[in-house]
């Protein structure tokens, strides 16, 4: 809340004064400082300016000025901080945590990808944000609140970025947050392994003239190399307090927070604003532009005139827009244009390059004075030795494909045993309920609806966890970044950016975060193109369907079939990329620049923790959308009950002596009843469309319900193929066995299996390619900025799935019969 939000007669307490320069000096001299009460006296007839009462005197402020003063009222104070607040130090306060006015510190975490920024955020906030050891994990900001030494920290983890230019969406997002939100302190997290490159971002923060504390992260790596860094001298040279941290071990965190408090209170003697020297000619140009910009106090109250001048010389359109409403904007533009021309003519080089070179020159000089390298680099040497094999020109791609094969093969083979245990437990539960519950709708709903639906999906939890284990292993060790490097050349052949491969690989886990990860691509067309082909990457929700059908139809080769399906998805994504690139997205490719972080051993505990967090989301679906869908499918298949059968099944069953014949009659009766149920009628209505693909109506209904979530395909099958049928001894049969034994009961195919190797593979292909779940469609619409792309994804994926499955089934049938 700001002074602007108050009404006449309201009283509030000042918590923060934003703004800068002459405005900040003038406003604080008038008594607008933290902790002081202020009352709104009255507004002018046109609502601007407003008169305030502070320190026994009346002061008038414009709305643009009062919007820079944050306040808290007695009524609003309890709602400022989300409860409960995390405890960093001091006594943990139970119940609602209410910060005292003036004790709130807004902190923004800024740093390069892989600098350990999100790890630091997790440590100080006690949150559980996932940290992947590759660029682009943090694609949006996250906020947390915690208490330390009587202060409330409101900390924001911003996306990882290499600079604050006008190039990528991350750079714009971070810069806009700093300029518009005006955090009290920016904590710049830098990687001690890559100081020279990481400090480039620091140099831009220096130009912004904001309050910065530098967290020198991964300091243990620097010590392991026995490099010597004079941290005190570096702090003085940069005008920024430098604090060593080892965030993944939690070391240096308290010291960092203590320095943030000191800087916030203005008690750190090393904190000062310095000017990076860009050379005589550029400095002259900066000075000329500053003089013009300073004619607009409404802008210099918010932004550094030196920062804006440099950005104008760098031809930064976003920063130019910030002053587009200035009275002398045309003069500023013309002067900037003249100065850029003058410098380019003088140095035969563009201003962006000259400014960049000067920044790196400043960094190089600072490090020469403060850092003495031992010449040893064990961390990088180890990584380089590993990369000699894993990113080898000829071996890199085969090793990666072998890893993928191992991942999918292990998903099926290792998951088979615990899957069998869970399946047995579900069968025992079903048998127990059938034996101990009275016949009727409640028992049928429990056994056939809930257990048959949800139980049919939860069986595949071990397979899901194994898949997530391998994905977490790739992310946490640093191998995920290498996959983009390995596949860059291949991706370019298909019109894709090398960085697109990371979202595609992430799609093996879940398509939704994969689509969000496309934000790391600088070019909008590259982002949309990648979004359109991500649905072909087999997400973990499809895996239960693969395991179910492949295990039932191809029991001896299920692992290879699943691997083949994943590869088919990759091939289709590449082919569609070529098509879209030539028709919809004709543009020049952005340069491929990706950091290869050093390999790390995150420890089995971290990998298992990340695996379980992903698996927990799968379990949450069991009690939500899948449970609801299973009950709906069961109800549609259970009613109506008054069905007229073609023959007297009950009479024939009573007269029959053979157990096998009795079971067959029961299956035929249930099949005929389901055909006359509501879901059977719906399935029969769509059967003409799917019959050419080798599907019956039950398979069609399963595909329709899969739009909500692909796991529902399995739960639907669990309801349709198991409902009401049990062995003579009262035991249940597994869903895979039911599918394997399912027969056509009428028509020209009567007595023949529904799932043949050809129809089964056709069904798997359709599951692989057809429309993604509703969450993915929503993500495409939001991330692309247009819902037409979401609709396009729905249409074209389903069309391709139908055509491909038709070709697989028809050609396969011809070859088999021929």
CA distance 586 to 303: 38
Q: Dihedral angle at the C-alpha atoms of 314, 316, 317, 323, nearest 10 degrees?
A: -90
Are the CB atoms for 693 and 813 separated by under 8 Å?
no
Residue 84 clears pLDDT 90, i.e. is over it: no
pLDDT band at 749 (very low <50, low <70, confident <90, very high): confident
pLDDT at 710: 83
Q: Which residue has the higher pLDDT, 68 or 469?
A: 469
pLDDT band at 751 (very low <50, low <70, confident <90, very high): confident
Q: What does the pLDDT look like over 655-701, one tens digit per residue?
A: 887 877 887 777 677 777 777 788 888 888 888 899 999 998 889 88
pLDDT at 125: 77
> Within a 13 Å sphere around the CA of 618, how many CA atoms are in the beta-carbon half?
27
Q: How many CB atoms lie within 10 A of CB 376?
A: 12
CA distance 335 to 317: 15
pLDDT at 535: 93
Q: What are phi and psi of 187, to 5 degrees?
A: -95, 110
Residue 595 clears pLDDT 60, i.e. is over it: no
Which is nearest to 632 in space by CA: 676, 679, 598?
679
- What mean pLDDT, rounded, does the chain reach? 80
Most confident stretch, 333-342, 734-743, 777-786: 333-342
pLDDT at 358: 86
pLDDT at 471: 81
pLDDT band at 138 (very low <50, low <70, confident <90, very high): very low
pLDDT at 791: 92
Which is nearest to 504 in space by CA: 573, 410, 417?
573
Which is nearest to 527 in space by CA: 177, 771, 168?
168
CA distance 263 to 277: 25
- The pairing of beta strand 86-87 with beta strand 57-61: unpaired
pLDDT at 805: 96
When mean pLDDT is compared across 71-85, 414-428, 734-748, the lowest value belongs to 71-85
Over residues 597-609, mean pLDDT: 76
Per-residue burial over 532-553, b = 16 or more CB atoms within 10 Å of its CB, e = otherwise: bbbbbbbbbbbbbbbbbbbbbb
Most confident stretch, 447-456, 654-663, 755-764: 755-764
Q: How long, in residues, is the chain?
A: 818
Over residues 519-544, mean pLDDT: 84
Residue 592 clears pLDDT 70, i.e. is over it: no
pLDDT band at 384 (very low <50, low <70, confident <90, very high): confident
Residue 521 clears pLDDT 90, i.e. is over it: no
CA distance 785 to 229: 47
pLDDT band at 760 (very low <50, low <70, confident <90, very high): very high
Residue 29 clears pLDDT 70, i.e. is over it: no
pLDDT at 475: 77
pLDDT at 525: 82
Q: Which residue has the higher pLDDT, 164 or 569?
A: 569
Q: How many CB atoms lie within 10 A of CB 192?
A: 24
CA distance 313 to 359: 14
Q: How many CB atoms lie within 10 A of CB 756?
A: 16
Residue 352 clears pLDDT 90, i.e. is over it: no
Residue 99 clears pLDDT 70, i.e. is over it: no
pLDDT at 127: 62
Over residues 457-466, mean pLDDT: 82
Residue 483 clears pLDDT 90, i.e. is over it: no
pLDDT band at 167 (very low <50, low <70, confident <90, very high): low
Residue 190 clears pLDDT 80, i.e. is over it: yes
pLDDT at 690: 92
Q: Which residue has the higher pLDDT, 114 or 108?
A: 108
Most confident stretch, 256-265, 488-497, 642-651: 256-265
CA distance 331 to 312: 12
pLDDT at 193: 83
Over residues 354-373, mean pLDDT: 86
Partner residues linked to 58 by β-bridges: 53
Percentage of residues of the chain with pLDDT beyond 90: 16
pLDDT band at 770 (very low <50, low <70, confident <90, very high): very high
Residue 398 clears pLDDT 80, i.e. is over it: yes
pLDDT at 205: 92
Q: Which residue has the higher pLDDT, 518 or 760?
A: 760
Percentage of residues of the chain with pLDDT beyond 70: 86
pLDDT at 375: 64
Residue 622 clears pLDDT 70, i.e. is over it: no
Which is nearest to 38 in space by CA: 78, 84, 5, 80?
5
Residue 288 clears pLDDT 60, i.e. is over it: yes
pLDDT at 110: 93
Q: Which residue has the higher pLDDT, 24 or 704?
A: 704
Over residues 143-160, mean pLDDT: 87
pLDDT at 83: 34
CA distance 111 to 199: 9
CA distance 634 to 379: 58
pLDDT at 331: 92
> Within a 13 Å sphere around the CA of 439, how many CA atoms are in the beta-carbon half?
1
Residue 728 clears pLDDT 70, i.e. is over it: no
CA distance 521 to 528: 10
């Amino acid at each position: 809340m700001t002074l602007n939000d108050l009404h006449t007669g309201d009283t509030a307490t000042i918590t923060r004064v934003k703004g800068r320069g002459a405005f900040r000096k003038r406003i604080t001299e008038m008594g607008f400082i933290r902790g002081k009460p202020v009352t709104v006296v009255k507004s002018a007839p046109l609502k601007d300016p407003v008169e305030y009462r502070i320190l026994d005197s009346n002061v008038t402020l414009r709305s643009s000025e009062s919007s820079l003063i944050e306040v808290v009222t007695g009524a609003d104070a309890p709602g400022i901080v989300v409860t409960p607040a995390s405890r960093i130090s001091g006594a943990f306060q139970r119940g609602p945590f209410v910060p005292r006015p003036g004790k709130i510190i807004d902190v923004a975490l800024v740093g390069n990808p892989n600098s350990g920024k999100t790890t630091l955020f997790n440590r100080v906030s006690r949150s559980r944000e996932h940290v992947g050891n590759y660029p682009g994990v943090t694609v949006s900001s996250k906020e947390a609140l915690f208490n330390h030494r009587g202060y409330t920290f409101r900390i924001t983890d911003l996306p990882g970025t290499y600079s604050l230019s006008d190039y990528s969406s991350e750079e714009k997002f971070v810069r806009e947050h700093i300029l518009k939100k005006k955090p009290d302190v920016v904590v710049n997290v830098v990687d001690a392994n890559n100081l020279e490159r990481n400090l480039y971002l620091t140099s831009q923060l220096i130009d912004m003239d904001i309050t910065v504390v530098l967290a020198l992260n991964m300091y243990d790596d620097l010590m392991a190399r026995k490099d010597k860094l004079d941290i005190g001298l570096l702090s003085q040279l940069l005008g920024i307090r430098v604090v060593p941290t080892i965030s993944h071990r939690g070391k240096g965190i308290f010291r960092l927070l203590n320095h943030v408090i000191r800087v916030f209170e203005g008690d750190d003697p090393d904190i000062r604003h310095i000017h990076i020297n860009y050379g005589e000619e550029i400095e002259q140009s900066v000075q000329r532009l500053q003089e013009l910009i300073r004619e607009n106090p409404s802008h210099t109250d918010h932004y550094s005139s030196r920062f804006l001048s440099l950005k104008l010389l760098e031809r930064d359109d976003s920063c130019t827009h910030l002053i587009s409403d200035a009275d002398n904007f045309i003069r500023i533009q013309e002067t900037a244009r003249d100065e850029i021309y003058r410098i380019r003519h003088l140095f035969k080089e563009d201003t962006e390059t000259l400014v960049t070179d000067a920044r790196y020159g400043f960094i190089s000089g600072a490090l020469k004075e403060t850092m003495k390298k031992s010449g040893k680099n064990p961390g990088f040497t180890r990584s380089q030795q590993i990369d000699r094999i894993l990113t080898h020109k000829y071996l890199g791609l085969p090793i990666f494909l072998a890893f993928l094969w191992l991942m999918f093969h292990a998903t099926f083979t290792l998951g088979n045993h615990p899957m069998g245990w869970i399946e047995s437990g579900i069968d025992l539960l079903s048998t127990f309920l059938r034996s101990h519950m009275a016949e009727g709708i409640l028992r049928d709903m429990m056994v056939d609806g809930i257990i048959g639906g949800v139980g049919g999906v939860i069986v595949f939890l071990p397979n899901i966890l194994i898949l997530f284990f391998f994905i977490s292993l790739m992310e946490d060790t640093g191998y995920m970044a290498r996959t983009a490097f390995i596949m860059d050349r291949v991706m370019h052949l298909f019109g894709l950016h090398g960085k697109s491969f990371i979202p595609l690989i992430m799609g093996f886990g879940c398509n939704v975060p994969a689509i969000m990860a496309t934000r790391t691509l600088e070019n909008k067309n590259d982002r949309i193109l990648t979004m359109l082909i991500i649905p072909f990457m087999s997400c973990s929700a499809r895996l239960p369907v693969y395991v179910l059908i492949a295990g039932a139809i191809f029991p001896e080769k299920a692992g290879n079939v699943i691997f083949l399906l994943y590869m088919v998805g990759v091939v289709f994504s590449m082919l569609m990329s070529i098509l879209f690139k030539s028709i919809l997205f004709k543009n020049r490719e952005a340069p491929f620049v990706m950091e290869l972080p050093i390999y790390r051993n995150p420890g089995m505990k971290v990998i298992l923790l990340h695996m379980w967090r992903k698996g927990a989301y799968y379990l949450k679906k069991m009690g939500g959308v899948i449970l609801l869908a299973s009950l709906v499918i069961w109800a549609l298949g259970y009613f109506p009950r008054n069905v007229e059968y073609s023959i007297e099944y009950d009479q024939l069953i009573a007269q029959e002596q053979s157990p096998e014949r009795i079971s067959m009659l029961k299956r035929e009766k249930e099949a005929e009843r389901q055909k006359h149920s509501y879901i059977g009628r719906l399935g029969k209505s769509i059967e003409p469309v799917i019959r050419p693909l080798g599907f019956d109506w039950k398979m069609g209904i399963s595909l329709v319900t899969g739009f909500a979530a692909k796991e529902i395909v399995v739960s639907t099958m669990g309801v349709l193929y198991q409902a009401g049928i049990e062995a003579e001894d009262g035991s249940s049969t597994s869903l895979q066995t039911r599918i394997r034994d399912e027969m056509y009961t009428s028509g020209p195919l009567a007595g023949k299996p529904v799932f043949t190797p050809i129809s089964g593979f056709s069904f798997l292909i359709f599951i692989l390619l057809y429309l993604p779940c509703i969450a993915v469609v929503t993500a495409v619409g939001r991330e692309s900025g247009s819902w037409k792309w979401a609709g396009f994804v729905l249409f074209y994926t389903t069309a391709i799935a139908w055509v491909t499955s038709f070709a697989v089934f028809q050609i396969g049938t011809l070859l088999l019969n021929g």
